[in-house]
């Protein structure tokens, strides 16, 4: 996920620069772009830029709820988990960008996503076995090994009835960005 902070409504040139920067940092450009119907995305220069790169573009339907569902959900999550909490949102542009960068890194690397079957975006993007698919601990001593667990189903590690320690750290010291780990109790 990339992000940009603009002091006002961005121009078509600013949107192109942002997309170029994200493409450079990721090492590839998008094949598809889905956006609202703002003038930046309909500008002649933007259309030419997009066509030269072979990027297909689709506009969300005006006034139709859910036509941009994935990005709307992402923005809603960002607002509820990062900017509407009782935390201090910095007024300085550089500090605000830093907070958003920390949130994006945490969001991609540590936050499980229902849409990704409990995996994080980093686990999907960099092909790694999702943590939710590794064998799990079972703290209930009489729990039958073959019983289904929460989704996604995984195998049980060791014997049922194991005592666990839960460790909650805060990503970059931010209270609203938890990193949770379960370990066998000593």
CATH classification at residue 27: 3.30.420.10
pLDDT in tens, 84-119: 766 667 788 898 889 889 999 999 999 998 888 889
pLDDT at 168 exceeding the cut of 70: yes
pLDDT in tens, 2-24: 788 888 999 999 999 999 999 99
* Any domain includes 23: yes
Which domain covers residue 2, as residue numbers? 1-67
Mapping DSSP onto H, E and C, the string for 34-52 reads EECCCHHHHCHHHHHHHHH
Residue ending a domain, choose from 9, 40, 67 = 67
Question: Rounded CA gap, 180 and 109, in Å?
Answer: 12
* Any domain includes 114: no
Residue ending a domain, choose from 40, 67, 94 = 67
User: What's the pLDDT at 54?
Assistant: 95
Question: Rounded CA gap, 62 and 71, in Å?
Answer: 15
Residue ending a domain, choose from 67, 83, 112 = 67
pTM of the model as a whole? 0.79
Q: Are 138 and 156 in contact (CB under 8 A)?
A: yes
Question: Rounded CA gap, 54 and 24, in Å?
Answer: 16
Return mean pLDDT, the chain. 87
pLDDT in tens, 21-78: 999 988 888 899 988 889 999 999 999 999 999 999 998 887 777 778 878 888 888 8
């Amino acid at each position: 996920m990339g992000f940009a902070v603009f002091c006002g409504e961005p121009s078509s040139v600013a949107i192109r620069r942002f997309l170029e920067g994200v493409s450079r940092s990721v090492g590839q450009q998008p094949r598809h772009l889905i956006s609202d119907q703002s003038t930046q995305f309909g500008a002649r220069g933007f259309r030419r830029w997009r066509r030269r790169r072979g990027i297909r573009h689709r506009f969300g339907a005006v006034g139709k709820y859910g036509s941009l569902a994935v990005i709307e959900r992402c923005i809603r999550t960002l607002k509820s988990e990062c900017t509407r909490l009782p935390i201090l949102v910095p007024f300085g542009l550089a500090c605000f960008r830093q907070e958003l960068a920390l949130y994006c890194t945490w969001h991609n690397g540590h936050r499980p996503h229902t849409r990704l079957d409990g995996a994080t975006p980093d686990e999907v993007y960099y092909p790694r076995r999702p943590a939710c698919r590794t064998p799990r601990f079972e703290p209930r001593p009489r729990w039958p090994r073959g019983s289904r667990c929460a989704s996604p189903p995984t195998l049980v590690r060791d014997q049922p009835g194991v005592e666990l320690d839960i460790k909650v750290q805060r990503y970059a010291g931010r209270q609203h960005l938890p990193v949770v780990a379960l370990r066998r109790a000593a």
